[in-house]
Amino acid sequence: AQRVTQPEKLLSVFKGAPVELKCNYSYSGSPELFWYVQYSRQRLQLLLRHISRESIKGFTADLNKGETSFHLKKPFAQEEDSAMYYCALRKGGPGANNLFFGTGTRLTVIP
Amino acid sequence: EAGVVQSPRYKIIEKKQPVAFWCNPISGHNTLYWYRQNLGQGPELLIRYENEEAVDDSQLPKDRFSAERLKGVDSTLKIQPAELGDSAVYLCASSLDGRASGSTEAFFGQGTRLTVV
């Protein structure tokens, strides 16, 4: 069975400091990994996905199959990054469309 | 574009009463999901539709929960009777054809916060 683990419920960093939100997964196949973000009073929205290998709002995430991790990183945190972050996994292959979420990490960027 | 629309935003009911949630997905999105999010947890899938067909309802507590998507567009999720443990945020999401290979983004609604007292 698949599982997504986010070990930190809360994470606080100072503005300008680097930030890393951890995500580990367990799945025997080749998954697709995502990071979703929820800002205060807003809906859950996609931040980035591993297959795009892109940087969104300064955030990047690399899929490490050896360590089964998909940590989210940003070199210099901004106050507007304060939000709830969820790592999510989708099983690979056609028809496998369910998203499985971790429990989330609340990031607070201290001015 | 309004995105995925859910109503109501909030609902307070007494236990043993019925309750229903409504979702209007993004136009053209074939795949519709209902998730439940308990306090301090991530969203958990209840049911997924491809058009009007429920292709995965394995996590739906079928003794009290039911869902429908009759014309493959709007969907309703019902709980009857509600229990105290059903208090949660119920999220609806939609995406393009989920049966196609490759990644398709899921767009979420604002959710319905249910409180059972």
How many beta-carbon pairs below 8 A join chains A and B?
A: 59
Given a cut of 70, whether residue B1 has pLDDT beyond it is no
Given a cut of 90, whether residue B5 has pLDDT beyond it is yes
Q: Return the structure tokens found at A33.
A: 């990994």
Share of chain A above pLDDT 90, in %: 70
Share of chain B above pLDDT 70, in %: 93
Across the range B20-33, mean pLDDT stands at: 94
Considering CB atoms only, which of A46, A93, A103 is closest to B42?
A103
Contact list in B for residue A103 (CB cut-off 8 A) is: 40-42
Across the range B59-68, mean pLDDT stands at: 94
Given a cut of 90, whether residue A28 has pLDDT beyond it is no
Given a cut of 60, whether residue A56 has pLDDT beyond it is yes
Q: How far is it, in rounded angstroms, from Cα A65 to Cα A54?
A: 18
Q: How far is it, in rounded angstroms, from Cα B42 to Cα A107?
A: 15
**A52 to chain B: nearest residue by CA?**
B103
Q: How far is it, in rounded angstroms, from Cα B71 to Cα B52?
A: 6
Q: How far is B94 from chain A (nearest CA, A)?
A: 11
Contact B105 A104 (CB under 8 A): no
Contact A97 B31 (CB under 8 A): yes
Cα A55 to Cα A26, A49, A51, A63, A74, distances in angstroms = 24, 10, 12, 14, 9
pLDDT score of B35: 96
Contact list in B for residue A86 (CB cut-off 8 A) is: 42-43
Considering CB atoms only, which of A9, A94, A98 is closest to B48?
A98
Q: How far is B70 from chain A (nearest CA, A)?
A: 21
Across the range B92-107, mean pLDDT stands at: 74
pLDDT score of B8: 97
Give the H or E element holding residue A110.
strand A105-110
Across the range B84-108, mean pLDDT stands at: 82
Across the range B38-64, mean pLDDT stands at: 92
Encode pLDDT of A60-103 as tens digits: 998 998 999 999 999 999 999 999 999 999 876 555 678 899 99
Strand spans (E) along chain B? 5-7, 10-13, 19-24, 31-37, 44-50, 53-56, 65-68, 75-79, 88-95, 107-108, 112-116
Given a cut of 80, whether residue B36 has pLDDT beyond it is yes
pLDDT score of A93: 59
Contact B45 A32 (CB under 8 A): no
Contact A49 B105 (CB under 8 A): yes
Given a cut of 90, whether residue B13 has pLDDT beyond it is yes
